Chain A
């Protein structure tokens, strides 16, 4: 794991909920923490270089953008083929997450999860059929779970003081 010192941690804690949408956001973060703007920028660059921060960016709201339908497609793919299949599915532009996860039989025979987004449920179903064609006979069973409601969406927060 990367070395993260106390100052890095303070910057992460101060910004994980978002940075201010103002002309000089890093200067505001720096002022709040009693640091220089240049140090905040340099440390965030360092955290990106070490992979602790993936990027600084906006998270779009799928619903507001008209991508109202999302379906979690799940597949039971033979273990020896799952990596190859997973890479193919993960490369599709309408798949935002693609993971291999453990099965939990008998309730849950599926080991490959791919989140598919579309403007409508019909569009999501069309994409699901495309994925089915891609996997072919290597999938023994599959299903799709549509989201009915967002019950909570806060993102992961580090607790104060870390650990």
Chain B
């Protein structure tokens, strides 16, 4: 296992884990949402806020807030992949990551070794941006748009 992307393991107690599991499922839209969740755990709302702040600071959660469906907003997504020569990998990473439409980018162990997701405000921009990346890198951008979604889970057991 490559260790370069591993976060120093976060020490989680039982309540941290329960909170993480609970908050991945959803957070109330109420004026005092932490109090509503705290009641489920028999803990204090301010303690819940403090724990969540710590979990965020320790990078156990990467984001807290609304999950927006870009497609429902009229936008589009596309998974893309490139076969990047090893000696140019860092430079190509800089170029690709420099496009604000690149939402996630992973190095993977395959001939197609760079996999990224494009998110754009309109479907037509996907090809425009992918073409721009091809021009900027002189590499082919393979495009794998979603044809059908079977299930998108989001929960990781803590």
Contacts and interface: CB of A to CB of B under 8 A. Distances in A.
Contacts of B85: none
Interface residues of A, number: 86
Contact of A147 (B5, B25, B52, B145): B5
A54 interface: yes
A63 B1 contact: no
A145 B72 CA distance: 30
Nearest to A19: B65
A65 B150 contact: no
B7 A61 contact: yes
Chain A interface SS verdict (over half): mixed
B60 A60 contact: yes
B87 interface: no
A107 B110 CA distance: 11
A89 B150 contact: yes
B27 A58 contact: yes
Given A66-B9, A143-B110, A148-B109, A100 B67 contact: no
Interface in A78-137: 82-83, 86-87, 89-91, 93, 95-102, 104, 107-108, 111, 113, 117, 120-121
Among B32, B69, B102, B150, residue most surrounded by chain A Cβ atoms (within 10 Å): B150
A100 B148 contact: yes
